[in-house]
């Protein structure tokens, strides 16, 4: 395996009222070269904190407690500020979920992209070549009238156009890894589909590795090759997308999938998961964080530390389910 991104037992915490609370709790995941991997879960589960930590943009009041983050085999957590400034935006990039706040409202689009190229260039670039390179990238993300976009301010563009600009900005220096933090959340369904198509095209043409973060399993099921499901700072289940979507095992994953609208469910009341993701203040750090919302929960779920179960590419954190037996049952059901 050629792992472009590898996160190993990573923990990030905040101090709240003299108590250290884990917002991201001992997570491990990886993305191989040219692979698109999904990280899904409700708001407040730690997905964006994970994304920000990968590129060293986590909140200043947070603390990395343990673990490693490696990109192309390099321990990025050991980088100096100068190394981060050199690597971020060149070797790896991030797309933020809100395009209006991610772009400088006072600088024209062309100049914003130009700044990124110049900041990471090893030598001076001819201004004509510079503009030509930017125009090529604006066309690659399917922006009509790239000349007009080049000379526009962010507020003069639609949400979908701004998101395309962010993709162009993140890819202009040919990074090996793209972290896409809910890049389609604020967009309508049609534009969302177009953005996913562009990202997939870039992934295939450039062998770009993508960590795609979303709260919507319906969006990632046909876009990502593997999926990690995150809840309250912990990855509770992971596996190949088709297997995980068709045969979810963890009660939380089942709940997320059952809540996805479909034609078959038309006219029916959609399933919901009772309650809400616990806030940081309410996380005890003991047992399973999903226990208070789980229909299977037993007393052991509230007190015993979770341990990972693995069979092949499938991984599960649950006290009450034997992963190996569950997978055998799924295989048996499929034969019958």
Q: In what order do the strands lie in the sheet with 309-311?
A: 92-95, 177-181, 209-214, 36-40, 226-231, 234-240, 314-316, 309-311
Domain residue extents for the chain: 3-238
**pLDDT value of residue 57:** 94
Nearest to 46 by CA among 72, 12, 69: 12
**Pair type for strands 226-231 and 36-40:** parallel
Instruction: Count the alpha carbons within 13 Å of 132 in the hemisphere toward its beta carbon.
Output: 5
**pLDDT value of residue 1:** 67
Is domain 3-238 given the CATH code 3.40.50.300 in the classification? Answer: yes
Residue 268 · residue 261 · CB < 8 Å: no
User: Average pLDDT for consecutive 10-residue bins of the chain (336 residues)?
Assistant: 93 90 95 96 93 95 95 95 93 85 92 93 83 94 93 93 93 95 82 88 93 89 94 96 93 91 80 90 87 93 93 93 91 79
Tell me how far apart the alpha carbons of residues 64 and 82 are, in angstroms, rounded to a whole number. Answer: 19
pTM (2 d.p.): 0.93
């Amino acid at each position: 395996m050629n792992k472009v991104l590898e996160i190993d037992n990573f923990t990030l915490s905040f101090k709240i009222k003299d108590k250290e609370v884990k917002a991201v709790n001992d997570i491990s995941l990886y993305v191989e070269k040219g692979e698109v991997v999904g990280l899904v879960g409700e708001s407040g589960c730690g997905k964006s904190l994970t994304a920000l930590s990968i590129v060293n943009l986590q909140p200043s009041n947070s603390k990395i407690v343990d673990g490693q983050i490696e990109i192309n085999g390099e321990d990025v957590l050991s980088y100096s500020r100068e190394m981060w400034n050199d690597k971020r935006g060149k070797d790896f990039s991030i797309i933020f979920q809100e395009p209006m706040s991610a772009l400088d409202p006072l600088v024209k689009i062309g100049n914003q992209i130009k700044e990124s190229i110049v900041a990471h260039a090893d030598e001076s670039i001819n201004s004509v070549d510079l503009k030509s390179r930017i125009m090529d990238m604006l066309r690659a993300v399917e922006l009509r009238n790239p000349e007009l976009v080049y000379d526009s301010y962010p507020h003069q563009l639609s949400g979908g156009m701004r998101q395309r600009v962010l993709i162009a900005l993140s890819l202009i220096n040919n990074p090996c890894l793209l972290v896409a933090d809910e890049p389609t959340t604020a967009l309508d369904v049609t534009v969302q589909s177009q953005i996913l198509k562009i990202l997939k095209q870039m992934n295939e043409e450039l062998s770009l590795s993508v960590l795609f973060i979303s709260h919507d399993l319906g969006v990632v099921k046909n876009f990502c090759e593997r999926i990690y499901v995150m809840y309250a700072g912990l990855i509770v289940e992971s596996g190949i997308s088709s297997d995980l979507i068709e045969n979810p095992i963890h009660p939380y994953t089942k709940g997320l999938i059952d809540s996805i609208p479909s034609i078959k469910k038309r006219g029916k009341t959609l399933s919901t998961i009772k309650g809400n993701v616990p806030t940081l203040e309410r996380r005890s750090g003991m047992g399973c964080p999903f226990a208070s919302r789980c229909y299977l929960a037993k007393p052991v779920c509230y007190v015993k530390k979770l341990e990972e179960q693995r069979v092949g590419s499938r991984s599960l954190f649950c006290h009450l389910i034997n992963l190996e037996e569950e997978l055998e049952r799924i295989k048996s059901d499929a034969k019958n």
